[in-house]
Structure 1
Amino acid sequence: MNLLPSKPSPRVYPSQLYAVGYIIIALTFALYQPILDCDETFNYWEPLHYLFFGCGLQTWEYHPDFALRSWLYIKLHKILLLPVAVFRGKIHKSVYFYALKCILGMITALTASRFRTAVGYRFGQSIGTNAGLIILGGVGIHSAGVSFLPSSFSMVALFLSLSEWLRLGLDRCPDQSDSTRVWFRIIAYTAASFFLGWPFALPSALAYAIHCLLHDTTHICLRFAAGVTLLILSVSTVVDSISYGRLTLPVFNLLRYNLMPTEHAGSHLYGTEPVSYMLRNLILCFNLIFPIALFFPVSLCLQPYIANPPKPRDAWAYTATLWVLLGAWSCVPHKEERFFSQMYPFIVLSAAVTIETGHQFCCRIFSQTAASILYKVFFALYFCISIARSLALFTLYSAPRELHDAFRRTMPMHDDTEANQRTICYSKDWYRFPSSFFLPSDSERVRVAFVKSDGLDAQLPVPFRTTQSRDNDLNQSNVANSMQFTSVSQCDYLMTSHGNEVDRKNWTKSYQRSIVNAPTAPWYFRAFYLPYVSRHKLSFASFCLYSKHVESESRP
């Protein structure tokens, strides 16, 4: 199987221009996109907050008896924030939050730019341009890029490994030694994607593995792969065993939990979704581009009828992974949007080739001018839908963060004593908590607690004691435990969008913000924000901050 084109095309647009555009978009998402998944809050931001400030909320995955999450992953991100930590005491904790999101976004932007350049070298200038434009409007890429999630880390590593694979065999790697070094980078990025990031991205390496086995230096590459894997797993074992206080390897624990479920333990406890859920989410992330990517096999059939078909002939080898991943995730009952980010590089590549094939085919059927107009209209429509999706993410779900900002700014000062510690409570809206980074910087001043309410019978996070503590009554069966709830009489503040839970005699509304009422809102207006239209078509609830026994004027 020949994966190499006969003549690479070195003509690509300046990657610096794309990189600048990607960075601007990444920073916009970092500053305005709220956390969309409570798993990101409680499994990553809260442990990071604990490392910096000695307090935070702990999920059962971080209990030493289960040890599903790697402290190595958290500590690597802590290193990124050490320059920010120099200013501790002079800045609010939310600066840590936004700084990390900006750093992650810029890293994603640079790796995506490198990937676009590699596509241009391998496939030619036109397909490189298509890939660049797709990434520019790729809401899914930018959203995942600023998320503190292992699946996002895996996506970035896959962008890098695929970039190297696309460069393999080009003029910059004329001899065997250069080619071997490229394979070493591919293996290193792929291993980091799996063992430092997300092990369930393993199917994405299938095409790499087949090509590597057909390579002349297979034995050297296999030895290098074994060495890199052993190194990463050894470091993880040491760091995580020290953190948990027992010998453990979280990546193995995570795989065992998900691949060998029982009746009372497994990802199925957190819901199952049909295949349509995956397809719907990928359309939300890429709108017109995802269906185009699925037409890639059809575009291969059209190439014999095109005067200048896209290069190389073996483009299918680079894009077949998309179908492998679609098939794999179709068989998995428990699905979440963040699981699909490993597909994004392959969606971009498949769609870029398909669009170029379609453009060339239209040039043959219609005039070149008509084909050019269709091309521009398509991308204009793609960008408009992407902007509408971005605005929906920025505006419809930002109330919790805005309310916590107001709470942080107006919380009254008091002595730092246990007796004067304030408690902020959540009930049905517990999953909207944006992380302890949005609480007052003096961590001893505020305690987070949850109030029992109708329908709230799942296991919730509890305060960290130590990373090695086994005192917390946590379980892997998603069964509520007695220590996770507090009495509403112990609360000083209450955040909720369910006003009927509040006894107005004892509570005063201090602040409120509008948040979309998802159950009563049409999905298309929730998914895409249209100025002057969405506000009239959507129904909103009031997400409120209530203060106990405090005379306070309700503010808009």
Structure 2
Amino acid sequence: MPLTTRQRSIHNKNGTKRSASIGKGKRPRKSSEGEYLVTNAPSDLRSISYPGGAVALALLIIARLISAYWGHIADCDETYNYWEPLHYLVYGSGLQTWEYSPIYAIRSYASLWLFAIPAKILSLFMTPVSVFYSLRAILAVLTACAELMFYKAVCHEFGVHVGRVWLCFTLPAAGCFASSAAMLPSAWSSALVSAALACWWRRRYVAAVAFTAATTLLSWPFTALLGIPIAIDIILIKRQYIDFVKWSVLSLIAILFPIVIVDSWYYGRLVIAPWNIVAYNIFTEHGPDLYGVEPWTYYFVNGFLNFNIVWVLSLSCPLLLVSCHAISSRSTSRAPFCCPYWLSLAPLVLWLMVFMLQPHKEER
């Protein structure tokens, strides 16, 4: 089936397929993975101005560092469930919430040590306030790097038109500003999921599985849901069953084993913190709705506050895709080496379906 003008092509070294848009005597640009990145549309890469990797990274770092310096802490969980225990790991003192009680043990010390190690080093020659801002700056830079991976993957998978629009919408987004420097699992997962999706769209399946395991075990276990489309692609479409099992088991051992060792040492008993938080929120009667819940409109209002018109467009995306396919099936067709649009959009649909059906605990 012929490609549309917005589609991109990846061709292997053997050169069995070459795009007709490459002029005679012109060699396609070769990527670090040994693949040729070419385009079906003459107007795509060669004549359209769009930010390159260095420019995009600079813009993202500036925007995220602004958040690190001027953004305030809006969530009490960030203060008492992450900064306080982190202060305890670095300086030996800090308040303890019930989540860190050995009775419940639903928070992991292992993920905090990833920040406590640089914080301890910085504390040797910095004041606690300077260490605080330095850690927020580190979070901001890491988030910007993950967003750069996502930006380049969007350009690669959907074209530079979409990538350029994504960058313009992401830089000033209130939701990205609030989460980029936050010491919260949901903020960490935002960056890790971005990296996982980026690796998936670039066909780097090992890294995609590893980032999905990292966000599930080190950060927020519920984000494992977003790994389902990646698994569908690897298992059902690419049919790499053995490789998927191997990558998943290796990632599980490499990440979960140290977590269990660290948390069990701190809690004084065998603890699997990622499982404990899932069990508490789903399989108990006193889960997230213990102190009341928000109305069903919470996610609609919150999404609009954080992303404005982008939120409206994202909700209409599945309907627009179906309409385009009904009008002209060629407009939604993709090359065999690209993910179908429905699969690429599946993480958004799965996340919205599950969380909009679940009550959100009342914000206090």
- The two structures have a TM-score, normalised by structure 2, of 0.81
Contact 2:119–2:131 (CA under 8 A) maintained in structure 1: yes
Question: Which aligned pairs between 1:210-221 and structure 2 lie closer than 5 A?
Answer: 210-214=232-236, 215-221=238-244
Rounded Cα–Cα distance in structure 2 between residues aligned with 1:76 and 1:203: 24
Aligned CA distance change for structure 1 residues 49 and 308 (closer, same or farther; 3 Å): same
**Which residue in 1 is equivalent to 2:162?**
127
SS at structure 1 position matched to 2:146? helix
User: Which residue identity does 2:312 align to in structure 1?
Assistant: P
User: Which residue identity does 2:67 align to in structure 1?
Assistant: F
Choose between structure 1 and 2: higher strand proportion.
1
Aligned CA distance change for structure 1 residues 128 and 244 (closer, same or farther; 3 Å): same
Residue 303 of structure 1 and its aligned partner are, at CA, apart by 5.9
Residue 26 of structure 1 and its aligned partner are, at CA, apart by 0.7
Rounded Cα–Cα distance in structure 2 between residues aligned with 1:310 and 1:125: 17
- What does the per-residue CA deviation read over 1:161-215, in whole Å, with 9 as the maximum and x for residues that have no partner? 11111112xxxxxxxxxxxxx2111110000010011001121111111112122
Contact 2:8–2:159 (CA under 8 A) maintained in structure 1: no
Residue 256 of structure 1 and its aligned partner are, at CA, apart by 1.0
SS at structure 1 position matched to 2:359? coil
Counterpart of 1:288 (choices 309, 330, 336) is 309
**Which residue in 2 is equivalent to 1:150?**
185
**Which residue in 1 is equivalent to 2:128?**
93
SS at structure 1 position matched to 2:105? coil
SS at structure 1 position matched to 2:127? coil
**Which residue in 2 is equivalent to 1:191?**
213
- What does the per-residue CA deviation read over 1:335-372, in whole Å, with 9 as the maximum and x for residues that have no partner? 478xxxxxxxxxxxxxxxxxxxxxxxxxxxxxxxxxxx
Counterpart of 2:291 (choices 265, 270, 273) is 270
Contact 1:123–1:310 (CA under 8 A) maintained in structure 2: no
- What does the per-residue CA deviation read over 1:234-275, in whole Å, with 9 as the maximum and x for residues that have no partner? 11111001111111111111111111112xx32211321233
**Structure 2: runs of 5 or more not aligned:** 1-6, 11-37, 40-44
Residue 308 of structure 1 and its aligned partner are, at CA, apart by 9.5
Contact 2:213–2:224 (CA under 8 A) maintained in structure 1: no
- What does the per-residue CA deviation read over 1:287-314, in whole Å, with 9 as the maximum and x for residues that have no partner? 1111011121233223676899577472
Counterpart of 1:75 (choices 113, 121, 125) is 113
SS at structure 2 position matched to 1:270? coil
- Overall identity of the aligned pairs, in %: 32
User: Which residue identity does 1:292 align to in structure 2?
Assistant: L
Two-structure CA RMSD over aligned residues (Å) = 2.2
Counterpart of 2:144 (choices 109, 112, 115) is 109
Contact 2:192–2:214 (CA under 8 A) maintained in structure 1: yes
Counterpart of 2:51 (choices 13, 21, 32) is 13
Rounded Cα–Cα distance in structure 1 between residues aligned with 2:233 and 2:201: 12
Counterpart of 1:259 (choices 282, 286, 304) is 282
**Which residue in 2 is equivalent to 1:302?**
324
Residue 148 of structure 1 and its aligned partner are, at CA, apart by 0.4
**Which residue in 1 is equivalent to 2:300?**
279
SS at structure 2 position matched to 1:275? coil
Contact 2:8–2:158 (CA under 8 A) maintained in structure 1: no
Contact 2:151–2:163 (CA under 8 A) maintained in structure 1: yes
**Which residue in 1 is equivalent to 2:267?**
244
- What does the per-residue CA deviation read over 1:393-423, in whole Å, with 9 as the maximum and x for residues that have no partner? xxxxxxxxxxxxxxxxxxxxxxxxxxxxxxx
**Which residue in 2 is equivalent to 1:204?**
226
User: Which residue identity does 1:268 align to in structure 2?
Assistant: D
Aligned CA distance change for structure 1 residues 308 and 260 (closer, same or farther; 3 Å): closer
- What does the per-residue CA deviation read over 1:523-555, in whole Å, with 9 as the maximum and x for residues that have no partner? xxxxxxxxxxxxxxxxxxxxxxxxxxxxxxxxx
Rounded Cα–Cα distance in structure 1 between residues aligned with 2:9 and 2:181: 37
Rounded Cα–Cα distance in structure 1 between residues aligned with 2:329 and 2:252: 46
**Which residue in 2 is equivalent to 1:407?**
none
Rounded Cα–Cα distance in structure 1 between residues aligned with 2:8 and 2:114: 42
SS at structure 2 position matched to 1:7? strand
**Which residue in 2 is equivalent to 1:315?**
341
Residue 233 of structure 1 and its aligned partner are, at CA, apart by 1.7
Rounded Cα–Cα distance in structure 2 between residues aligned with 1:43 and 1:311: 47
Residue 131 of structure 1 and its aligned partner are, at CA, apart by 1.3
- What does the per-residue CA deviation read over 1:56-105, in whole Å, with 9 as the maximum and x for residues that have no partner? 11100111121110000111111232441221xxx431111111111101
- What does the per-residue CA deviation read over 1:109-146, in whole Å, with 9 as the maximum and x for residues that have no partner? 11101211111111112111111112112221231111
**Which residue in 1 is equivalent to 2:3?**
none
SS at structure 2 position matched to 1:280? helix
Contact 1:258–1:267 (CA under 8 A) maintained in structure 2: yes
Aligned CA distance change for structure 1 residues 187 and 336 (closer, same or farther; 3 Å): farther
**Which residue in 2 is equivalent to 1:234?**
257
Question: Which aligned pairs between 1:334-349 and structure 2 lie closer than 5 A?
Answer: 334-335=360-361
- What does the per-residue CA deviation read over 1:486-532, in whole Å, with 9 as the maximum and x for residues that have no partner? xxxxxxxxxxxxxxxxxxxxxxxxxxxxxxxxxxxxxxxxxxxxxxx
Contact 1:278–1:335 (CA under 8 A) maintained in structure 2: no
Rounded Cα–Cα distance in structure 2 between residues aligned with 1:278 and 1:145: 20
User: Which residue identity does 1:59 align to in structure 2?
Assistant: T
Rounded Cα–Cα distance in structure 1 between residues aligned with 2:290 and 2:168: 40
Rounded Cα–Cα distance in structure 2 between residues aligned with 1:42 and 1:157: 23
Question: Which aligned pairs between 1:8-47 and structure 2 lie closer than 5 A?
Answer: 11=45, 13-47=51-85
Aligned CA distance change for structure 1 residues 335 and 320 (closer, same or farther; 3 Å): farther
Residue 227 of structure 1 and its aligned partner are, at CA, apart by 2.2
Rounded Cα–Cα distance in structure 2 between residues aligned with 1:295 and 1:99: 40
User: Which residue identity does 1:145 align to in structure 2?
Assistant: S
Specify the structure having the higher radius of gyration (Cα).
1
Residue 219 of structure 1 and its aligned partner are, at CA, apart by 0.9
**Structure 1: runs of 5 or more not aligned:** 169-181, 338-430, 432-556
Rounded Cα–Cα distance in structure 2 between residues aligned with 1:123 and 1:312: 10
Rounded Cα–Cα distance in structure 2 between residues aligned with 1:52 and 1:161: 30
- What does the per-residue CA deviation read over 1:365-394, in whole Å, with 9 as the maximum and x for residues that have no partner? xxxxxxxxxxxxxxxxxxxxxxxxxxxxxx
Contact 2:289–2:361 (CA under 8 A) maintained in structure 1: no
Question: Which aligned pairs between 1:480-495 and structure 2 lie closer than 5 A?
Answer: none
Aligned CA distance change for structure 1 residues 312 and 284 (closer, same or farther; 3 Å): farther
Rounded Cα–Cα distance in structure 2 between residues aligned with 1:196 and 1:68: 12
- The two structures have a TM-score, normalised by structure 1, of 0.54
Rounded Cα–Cα distance in structure 1 between residues aligned with 2:247 and 2:324: 40
Contact 1:22–1:136 (CA under 8 A) maintained in structure 2: yes
Rounded Cα–Cα distance in structure 1 between residues aligned with 2:330 and 2:283: 50
